[in-house]
Structure 1
Amino acid sequence: MRFRFCGDLDCPDWVLSEIITMSRLTSIKMKLLCQVVMASLLGDELDQDKAKKLTSDAKFDQSDLQGAVAALGFILRSASRYGVDSASLDSELQQLGLPRELAAALAKTHTDNNEKLSNHLSESSLRLSTLKSVSCAKESIKLPNNGGNVPVNTVRLNYLDTDRKEEEVIFTLSQSQLQSLVKDLKTARSKMEELSTE
């Protein structure tokens, strides 16, 4: 059977097994656990202590907790990615065996945070680094063998890599190279803006 929140594919077997595990939760604990997972999807660190506390009544061991958190993350992320509405998500989760109250709690968390999550996913997808600052300074380089001085533009890019470590790249461009680069970047930006409005 195909499910919209899975991109019109079958639900992965590991998610099915975690749905059985999550069925032991109460609807209130499911709602609170969904909120913890959603906060982590939006960029906060996962609150492990709170998640453990919420699942202690259902007698989750460490692997149950990790599996449930992973499954909730998968469901919430995928539902947002594929633009699934609350009613469809609720219905599909019930078809997979999640009790009605728990499916409703999960779908409600999705509805309440869908716009924020979609924006966060689009901002962070396909991004290898995050630009912090750019500076450009005119300098001159002395050529060897008394060739005189040549004016150049020294560009400094400061960015955070995928591990959130700060890096710096420095390179020089002639005035014509700099003008060509700026023109190409403006063209690329306008194309991206056209695509985002379609």
Structure 2
Amino acid sequence: MKYHFLGDMECPSWLLEEICANFSNLTVLKFRELCQRASHLMIYGHDKPILASTSEGINSISHHKNLILIGRWLLLKPAGYECPAEDLEKEVVQLGLPPEHGRQLKKTYDIYKNDLREKVRNSVHKEPHATILATSPTSFKMQSGSQIFDVSMSSTMMSQFRNDIENSLSNLRDFTDTLPSAEN
């Protein structure tokens, strides 16, 4: 079965096992605290301090793994795929998470959804544009950022390189034609 919060992919068996065997055995309070701390860890890169009176033994090393799993798989991935909070809740409950835990996850996701989406957007690696400065039948010079690259190859290799680039651009154009428009 495919899940929206995983980008319309099937749930990995190890994640299903974690949901059923690990997260389901946590109290609602502990799961809520893990969700809040995981969201903070994903957004800010560090765990927020929790008052000892509310912390239910959550500082153990085994719970750090839970923070990462909840943060990356149950908060960041859905945000990256723009999964509605209601879908996330329904799907994790369908995978075996208790309904109370699903509601806690949904509440946390609703609170931090925009920050998580921004984190995903900013984490995508972007290469600087390259500008062709000069070309010849067997070489070209390009600039990317402040670096200048000289690329030389045989005329056969240059011809193959040009064909590969043209085919790639054609495939990208064909692919973009299948995407829904931004107006929808």
In structure 1, the residue matched to 2:9 is 9
- The correspondence of residues 92-111 of structure 1 with structure 2, limited to 5 A, is 92-111=91-110
CA distance in 1, matches of 2:80, 2:13: 20
So what's the TM-score if we normalise by structure 1? 0.56
What secondary structure does 2:90 align onto? Answer: helix
The yes-or-no answer on 1:124 pairing with 2:118 is no
The TM-score, its normalising length taken from structure 2, stands at 0.60
| Pairs within 5 Å for 1:171-190 | none
- Give the 5 Å matches for 1:109-188: 109-127=108-126
Give the CA deviation at 1:55. Answer: 5.5
Inter-partner Cα distance in structure 2 for 1:71 and 1:34: 10
- Equivalent residue runs for 1:39-58 within 5 Å: 39-46=40-47, 54=55, 56=57
Maintained 8 Å contact 1:89/1:107: yes
Between the aligned partners of 1:16 and 1:46, the Cα distance in structure 2 is: 25
Specify whether residues 17 and 67 from structure 1 end up closer, same or farther in structure 2 by C-alpha distance, changes over 3 A only.
farther
Report which structure shows greater RCO (CA 8 Å, sep ≥6): 2
2:68 to 67, 70, 85: 70
The structure having more radius of gyration, on CA atoms, is 1
Letter in 2 for 1:43: Y
Give the 3-state SS of the residue equivalent to 2:112 in structure 1. Answer: helix
How far, CA to CA, are the matches of 1:21 and 1:31 in structure 2? 14
Between Structure 1 and Structure 2, how many residues are aligned? 131
Identical-residue share of aligned pairs (%): 26
Q: Contact 1:55–1:65 (CA<8 Å) still a contact in 2?
A: no
1:33 paired to 2:34: yes
Q: Could you list the runs of 5+ residues in structure 1 that have no partner in the other structure?
A: 129-156, 158-168, 172-196
The match for 1:131 is none
Q: Contact between 1:80 and 1:114, CA under 8 Å: does it hold in 2?
A: yes
The answer (yes or no) to whether the contact 1:81–1:118 under 8 Å persists in 2 is yes
Q: Which runs of 4+ in 1 moved over 4 A?
A: 52-55
SS for the counterpart of 1:28 is helix
User: Which structure 2 segments of 5+ residues have no match?
Assistant: 128-144, 149-181
Write the distance in 1 (CA, Å) between the matches of 2:110 and 2:41: 16
Q: 1:13 to 1:67 in 2, by over 3 A?
A: farther
RMSD of the alignment, in Å?
Answer: 3.1
Q: Which has the higher strand share?
A: 1
The 1-side partners of 2:93 and 2:99 are apart by 6
